[in-house]
Structure 1
Amino acid sequence: MSAGHTPEPLGVHFESVPEWLRGDGESADVVVSSRARLARNLAGHPFPARSTQAQRKTTLKLCKDWLSKAGLSAQTTCISLHQAAPSERTLLVERHLISKPLAKGRPLPDAQDDDRPPGETDPRAVVVGLPDEKLAVMINEEDHLRIQAISSGLDLREVLRRAIDADDRIEAGLDYAFDEQFGYLTACPTNVGSGLRLSCMVHLPALKMTGELEKVKRAAADMNLAVRGFYGEGSDAIGDLFQVSNQTALGKSEDQILHELDGEIIPRIVEYERFARKTLMSKRRAVVEDQCWRAFGTLTRARLMGAEEAMQLLSQVRLGVSMGLIRDTTVRIVNHLMLLVQPGHLQRVVGHEMDQEHRKEARATLLRTRLGG
């Protein structure tokens, strides 16, 4: 499917900075990235959780065959996840190109797997737009298709436009499951209708430091928004990074969901975080400067570093850079390091698998090298 040769076995350059981590765009000091995701299913085919192994193979082939010629991007690569190594699937999760459930290929609760040969994993794949990775289409996750567009900063309107464009190209060759009354039919009832999930990854260290974070999360829940961790549903918040998204698509149009998040919710969260930063600078400047510079010093001097500790320290440095306190690095570099310190990417940079102790040493060396320590 790829239009040109690439040295990477999966077609994705894992040491490059994906577009969504560039550190630019509107409100990039707080909003790391914006994402639009559309859930779609094929008419006449059972949902993945209700399908047999043979049916999943049929769905996978139908989708792959059409996506290879749908013109989704100037260049694409199709990665068969049931054939990819676990380490490669980990890399794709860390780059937010696939979900953890799709990476694991675990049978979903109601899956009819009586016909699956022993040791064979679920037929599933992802199609990635190259080289910027701004578009990805997961095949045979919870739904037959999950179409994702992602971008740096607050850019919800544009990522929605790109997701819809990809959706139109796909629908030109595949028959979607659609009901005149309910809209697009999906495996989860909360996605029925437009099938749209809009989300932003936001960096909220100041709200955490001022003790206001839980209040913001409760307010978001009251507005029927989901606040999740770094890798979305079921994941923890690391590095003070959170994903904020609409909770349901049922009964709301794409424009309504866009207006709620892009016109109201996300700008308000940005405003709260910036106000918290100003409050800290006016009332506790020495404390903030000390935390940011202490984090930078640790990152540039430590000899052993765990992933969670690295993310928390990088969060403090990112805050310092965004507030103009630290000028020795950039938001783009810090964003990229937040990716490279993850286990899969760290092992790719080093070139071989490592145990936990050697990963800590390699992570510390990487951070010292990239931050000039």
Structure 2
Amino acid sequence: MIICKRLLYLIQSDTSKMCTIAPRGKSSKMNLEMEFEKLQTSNSKSLLKKYLTPEIFHKLKDQKTQMGSTLMDCIQSGLVNHDSGVGIYAADADAYTTFADLFDPIIDDYHKGFSKNKVHPAKDFGDYKKLGNLDPEGKYIKSTRVRCGRSIQGYPFNPRMTVEHYKEIEDEVSKTLTSLEGEFKGCYYPLTGMAKQVQEQLINDHFLFKEGDRFLQAANACRFWPTGRGIYFNNDKTFLIWCNEEDHLRIISMQQGGDLGDVYRRLVTGVNEIEKKITFSHDNRLGFLTFCPTNLGTTIRASVHIKVPKLASEQQKLYNVADKYNLQVRGTTGEHTDAVDGIYDISNKRRLGLTEFQAVKEMYDGITEIIKIEKDL
């Protein structure tokens, strides 16, 4: 494992555990059927409850993927958390095919009309020069970020990963990333042995993934923590890679202010360099395959931290614009958090059925409209 010398003094020998290890879901018919009945009689509004009908349940409950993943592996988070919005994760790439009768309608619903007969377009990053600075005066946008997820071909996803899988992926990723040059040159920092205060500082700086997400815990995405997890960032801290957080890789470009064009340029260039060295899971119909079906296709999430205090007091207007431009509004520190001082994390919602450039352009157009409304209030 390669660790930059300038951070050696921040590393300590004891291991900090950032999330509780979730027990592996029991996959016996009796337990699965009991949990299914609880979901059916609950007040859950999840897509899992909506589409996991008794007919589909009985059709799929005994099926397994080529890697041995079961229905329980995919739906255990939604069975535990009835307040989930979606409630299902893919345990491996093949799960999208084996359990297509459940995944397809959920994907269609979430991605607004991507039926099982539709095919995701070929990768097209477009021209970053057509995306300018959303807030040249610096009055509204605090920071801009564009990220994408990638899964390494041949490996299962979290519920079926062994401790050896996590170590192998981390080793391959760290060696690949530390070979990058130019503006991408940086260091990889494993969580194993990292001091707790360093983890907390990186989280507070919005560099490192947060601990203890109960939805991921219930999906068995936190086992063997912190083994195999880590973060890479370049010397300018504008290009980051998360290793084995939710997906095998989360590739992130970010900087202060609203220059979306420059942030997107950096992401595209970095992704193209990494794809020369690592082969990722890809499907001809669904695009790039990820742990969560909400991130399929382009896997692109372009977001801003934006301060709109007037719209914060008239939230319905904010959510009306979000619906119009297919945007997702989150709290200041991400999903399942509140907005602080009128600062929201707003991003494109659609990732499937459109190109990478189109996904980012939806966010660009929506944020442009939000700033206009904030100015006029």
Which TM bucket (shorter chain)? 0.5 to 0.7
CA distance in 2, matches of 1:53, 1:128: 24
Instruction: Say if 1:112 and 1:219 are closer, same or farther in 2 by CA, change over 3 A.
Output: closer
CA distance in 1, matches of 2:217, 2:160: 9
**Between the two proteins, what is the percent identity of the paired residues?**
27
For the 8 Å contact 2:251–2:271, the answer to whether it is kept is yes
Q: Partner of 1:96: helix, strand, or coil?
A: coil
Partner AA of 2:314 in structure 1: E
Corresponding position: 1:196 with 2:196: no
Instruction: Quote how far apart the aligned CAs of 1:170 are.
Output: 1.0
Corresponding position: 1:182 with 2:182: no
Of 47, 61, 67, 2:157 maps to: 47
Aligned to 1:351: none
Aligned to 2:189: 79
Of 219, 230, 252, 2:354 maps to: 252
Structure 1 unaligned residues grouped into runs of 5+:
11-23, 277-373
**Deviation string for 1:119-153 (max 9, x for gaps)?**
x63420000111x2111100001100001001222
Structure 2 unaligned residues grouped into runs of 5+:
12-133
**Deviation string for 1:27-46 (max 9, x for gaps)?**
42011111100101100011
Partner AA of 1:146 in structure 2: R
Instruction: Say if 1:83 and 1:248 are closer, same or farther in 2 by CA, change over 3 A.
Output: farther
Partner AA of 1:128 in structure 2: F
Question: Following superposition, which runs of at least 4 residues in structure 1 exceed 6 angstroms of deviation?
Answer: 103-107
Instruction: Quote how far apart the aligned CAs of 1:257 are.
Output: 1.3
For the 8 Å contact 1:105–1:121, the answer to whether it is kept is no
CA distance in 2, matches of 1:28, 1:173: 37
**Deviation string for 1:219-244 (max 9, x for gaps)?**
31454311111111122211211011
Q: Partner of 2:241: helix, strand, or coil?
A: strand
Aligned to 2:375: 274
Aligned to 1:243: 345
Instruction: Say if 1:111 and 1:104 are closer, same or farther in 2 by CA, change over 3 A.
Output: closer
Superposed, which structure 2 residues align to 1:196-345 within 5 Å? 196-208=300-312, 211-221=313-323, 223-262=325-364, 264-276=365-377
CA distance in 2, matches of 1:272, 1:7: 48
**Deviation string for 1:51-99 (max 9, x for gaps)?**
1222111111111111111326364121111321222111111111122
For the 8 Å contact 2:221–2:246, the answer to whether it is kept is no
**Deviation string for 1:248-303 (max 9, x for gaps)?**
301111111122222x2111111111222xxxxxxxxxxxxxxxxxxxxxxxxxxx
Corresponding position: 1:9 with 2:10: yes
For the 8 Å contact 1:33–1:150, the answer to whether it is kept is yes
Q: Cα RMSD over matched residues?
A: 2.7
Matched residues, number: 254
CA distance in 2, matches of 1:113, 1:202: 31
Instruction: Say if 1:76 and 1:110 are closer, same or farther in 2 by CA, change over 3 A.
Output: same
CA distance in 2, matches of 1:41, 1:220: 29
Instruction: Quote how far apart the aligned CAs of 1:155 are.
Output: 1.8
Q: Partner of 2:305: helix, strand, or coil?
A: strand
Relative contact order: is structure 1 or structure 2 higher (C-alpha 8 Å, sep ≥ 6)?
Answer: 2
Q: Partner of 1:237: helix, strand, or coil?
A: coil
CA distance in 2, matches of 1:70, 1:226: 33
More helix by share: 1
Q: Partner of 1:108: helix, strand, or coil?
A: helix
CA distance in 2, matches of 1:80, 1:240: 34
Aligned to 2:93: none
TM normalised by structure 2 equals 0.61
Instruction: Say if 1:8 and 1:168 are closer, same or farther in 2 by CA, change over 3 A.
Output: farther
